[in-house]
Amino acid sequence: MSLPPALTAYRVLMRCASPLAVPLLIQRARAGKEDPERRNERLGRPTFPRPPGRLVWLHGASVGESLVLAGLVTEFAAAHPELRFLVTTGTMTSARLMAKRLPPVARHQYLPIDTLSAVTGFLDYWKPGLAVFAESELWPNLVIETAQRGIPMALVNARMNDRSLANWQKRPDSARYLLGCFDWIGAADSRTRDGLENLTGKAVTLAGNLKLEVRSEAPDPQALAQIRKRFDGRPVWLAASTHPGEEATILHAHALTLKAHPDALLILAPRHPERGDEVARLIDKQGFRFVRRSAGEIPSANQQIWLADTLGEMALWYGAARLALIAGSLLPDIGGHNPIEASQAGAVVLSGAHTASFDDLYALYRQHEAVITVSNAASIAAALERVWSHRGPSIKAAKAAITEASGGAMATSLAALEALLEHGKPAEIAS
């Protein structure tokens, strides 16, 4: 099958842009967006030897996808101790997370940029026996070159909101070609399954959402106990994974809350900790008394906000607050974030209305009355009051929603991957 014109044009464009790769990476490193010591990985050049034997390569874009892959690798390795695993991601945040979460049989590399030279260098060196992509990040050269080498390919936990599917439908030939490179696709929800079947004309498995079966890393029990003891008696709430434009609304809500609860504490955790200075300036401008976790500080009784500008401690914040607004949902075009980790940690969930990336999950949360939907500062303050007055959703309700949503995703996905690795065929038709 010949390449669609749009993909042909893309490959020509990327070939012409190849000489700009190194200057661009240097520029991004200076801006703190690339690891300068691991730049060669982005050019398809390894930084450690390939382990002997069969290698499974898994790719996810960023933190959320990498957590799914870490859980998948752990389960895969337990069933097949002879295998070795390579996990690629594209962000420094996810790289640091993978260093902590991957088992000893797995290593992390940065994803090569999508130039032909970087991609071929990567594939020539690692020679994976199976390629697994998570969710929706599909770089054309990477997908095409992997398929052309006859490497079995799977797309796990595929999730696309209506906007993503609409974008794919603008170039149906390209979508059909790229998605057709995968030997097995496991959709996280029915919307994605139906949309991908319409795009590709082939069967897509409704596997369930892997994120619902990946247990979050537990916080340090001693650290959690110390924080809870320090905050004992104070009303505490968490704004988790906030984005630019959301902090202003959240700070206004906290100002309203302080009128009724002068000792209330807000733990404010930006989605990207590198925005810490930016958010700190906003908090300071509004006149709040605050400290920063990145400076090793813990709030005293007279401080009103704890800026949680560190990586990998979200479970600690959920456990400390036990009440969390899952951000990314107060403004359109972000799509919301997964509430599962909050519920697993025993935190009551609040959310804005803009949750397109997790519509199916939030629908179940609403069905089980496990979430309070908010829209502005006043409604956030009212929701906090409701929860602190013991009139809010129960953790039991959230767990019921999670149980209904998971659908055995891990078992289904592992069975398909095992079949692909052994037979080059999806589980449904493997002999």
How much is the pLDDT for 103?
Answer: 92
pTM comes to 0.69
Q: How far is CA 303 from CA 92, 223, 290, 310, 313, in A?
A: 31, 19, 5, 19, 20
Q: Among candidates 384, 393, 391, 371, which has minimal Cα distance to 259?
A: 384
**Secondary structure of the chain in HEC code, one letter for each residue:** CCCCHHHHHHHHHHHHHHHHHHHHHHHHHHCCCCCHHHHHHHCCCCCCCCCCCCEEEEECCCHHHHHHHHHHHHHHHHHCCCCEEEEEECCHHHHHHHHHHCCCCEEEEECCCCCHHHHHHHHHHHCCCEEEEECCCCCHHHHHHHHHCCCCEEEEEECCCHHHHHHHHHCHHHHHHHHHCCCEEEECCHHHHHHHHHHHCCCCEECCCHHHCCCCCCCCHHHHHHHHHHHCCCCEEEEEEECCCCHHHHHHHHHHHHHHCCCCEEEEEECCHHHHHHHHHHHHHCCCCEEEHHHCCCCCCCCCEEECCCCCCHHHHHHHHCEEEECCCCCCCCCCCCCHHHHHCCCEEEECCCCHHHHHHHHHHHHCCCEEECCCHHHHHHHHHHHHCCCCCCHHHHHHHHHHHHCCHHHHHHHHHHHHHHHCCCCCCCC
The β-bridge partners of 306 are: 267, 291
Q: How far is CA 309 from CA 241, 288, 313, in A?
A: 10, 16, 9
Are 337 and 241 in contact, with CB atoms under 8 Å apart? yes
**Is 5-213+408-423 a domain of CATH 3.40.50.11720?**
yes
| Domain locations in the chain as residue ranges | 5-213+408-423, 221-405
Lookup: tokens for 172: 């149906």
Classify 208 in phi/psi space as left (phi over 0), alpha (psi -120 to 50) or beta: left
Strands 323-326 and 106-110: unpaired
Strands 236-242 and 130-134: unpaired
Are 70 and 101 in contact, with CB atoms under 8 Å apart? yes
Angstrom distance (rounded) from CA 312 to CA 63: 10
Which residues are identified as catalytic? 65
The β-bridge partners of 269 are: 240
Angstrom distance (rounded) from CA 297 to CA 291: 6
How much is the pLDDT for 429?
Answer: 39
Angstrom distance (rounded) from CA 420 to CA 51: 21
How much is the pLDDT for 431?
Answer: 32
Q: How far is CA 48 from CA 108, 126, 157, in A?
A: 10, 11, 29
Give the CATH fold of the 221-405 domain. Rossmann fold (3.40.50)
Amino acid (one-letter) located at 91: T
Amino acid (one-letter) located at 248: A
Amino acid (one-letter) located at 13: L
Residue ranges, the chain, pLDDT below 50 = 428-431
Strands 205-206 and 305-307: unpaired
Q: State the first-to-last Cα distance of the chain, in angstroms, to the nearest integer.
A: 26
The β-bridge partners of 236 are: 265
Q: 5-213+408-423 and 221-405 share one CATH topology?
A: yes
Lookup: tokens for 263: 């000792």
Q: In what order do the strands lie in the sheet with 153-158?
A: 106-110, 84-89, 55-59, 130-134, 153-158, 184-187, 205-206
Residues 6+ apart with CB under 8 A from 311: 93, 96, 97, 273
Angstrom distance (rounded) from CA 117 to CA 141: 10
How much is the pLDDT for 62?
Answer: 80
